[in-house]
Amino acid sequence: MTKSASAARTVHFDALHAFTKDAFESAGLQPPDAVTGADVLATTDSWGVFTHGTKSLAGYLRRLQTGGLRPRGIPRVASEGGAWAIVDGDSALGMVTSVFAVRTAIAKARQQGIAYVGVRNSCHFGAAGYYTWLAAQEGFIGIAMSNDIPSVAAPGSRGAITGSNPLSYAVPAGRYRPMLLDMSTATVAGGKVYAARMRGEPIPDTWLVGADGKPTTDPSGYPQIGALQPAAGHKGYGLSLLIETLSGLLTGAAFTWRVGNWMWDDGKQPTNHGAAFVVIDTNAIMPAAQFASRMESLIDEIHAAPLAEGASQLRVPGEIEWERHEQAMKQGIALPEDVLTNLRKAADMAGLSPEWLT
């Protein structure tokens, strides 16, 4: 491991995973649940998606310690049919509830060909892509989404209307790693706006609207003032409302401003986030080998397409993340300083002092 007081630090995946697991256990999670949380966060870091990995660990620990998350919460199926279910998360760690829900969807899709599983009484679940990857590992197409407290404007609004409501899909792809997309329905992650505010730097006028609803390059009031712009304008707004419907309204979870703020409140109350997972068994529709061959042909076609001047290659969603993952598993994960800062907070909260973090 290389060390630096002011730059990225490379940490082995196993060391990061073990620390995260121990931190969750210090907050009262049972070992299997602590492993689940560590799997989600450390894997997300291995993809290079540092906004949704272990950087959030201290925030989860705070909620576990103050009561907004129940360390011994047990997700359960509250109601179900042949190809659907609603899971009550019992205010457990969001990653624990979401893994339970997507595995429920996989089991139902194995029987029915397709399944929808909605979640209520949950919390922030990290990176949506982790759950769709679980489905793709089983040879299924996975779709995952979640709602959140509003932070994104609608076209023409003077403030936030919907959450950044993430959407992910993963598709098994034969000899290739799964095609994997994980996106917010905002133009940019709020963390990037906040980071620019901390540095005192202007932002592109496509990121944020001010209190008047007009695009601004000034991030100084965010997040108290202004709202993120929706991705692709009305298109991102429309997608966000679909996610709100499937994750919040249909599940019985909170929606829009009724969702608790998992980052900024006192951590003592459940947030009642909603989530939704759709799993499709391709083998129920056509032989799995035939579907895999067709996916390979699609990706081969994209890779072979003519390039614009200055471009070096064409990729499908997820290829960059899988390359980062492969490198991380061999050489370690280069954690940025902002992640390390938050991990030090988590270490203090958990009473841990790993050598690589000092």
Task: List active site positions.
Answer: 124
Element (H, E) at 177: strand 176-183
What is the Cα–Cα distance from 241 to 163, expressed in whole angstroms?
Answer: 9
Q: Looking at this protein, which amino acid is placed at residue 135?
A: A
Q: Which residue matches tokens 């108290």?
A: 224
- Coil vs helix vs strand at 85: strand
Residue 257, Cβ neighbours under 10 Å: how many? 12
The alpha-helical segments, DSSP class H, found in the chain are 13-26, 31-46, 57-66, 94-112, 128-137, 190-199, 234-244, 288-304, 319-331, 337-350
DSSP of 319-350: HHHHHHHHHHHHH-EEE-HHHHHHHHHHHHHH
What are the structure tokens assigned to 70, written together?
A: 């129940």
Q: Are strands 84-88 and 114-122 parallel, antiparallel or unpaired?
A: parallel
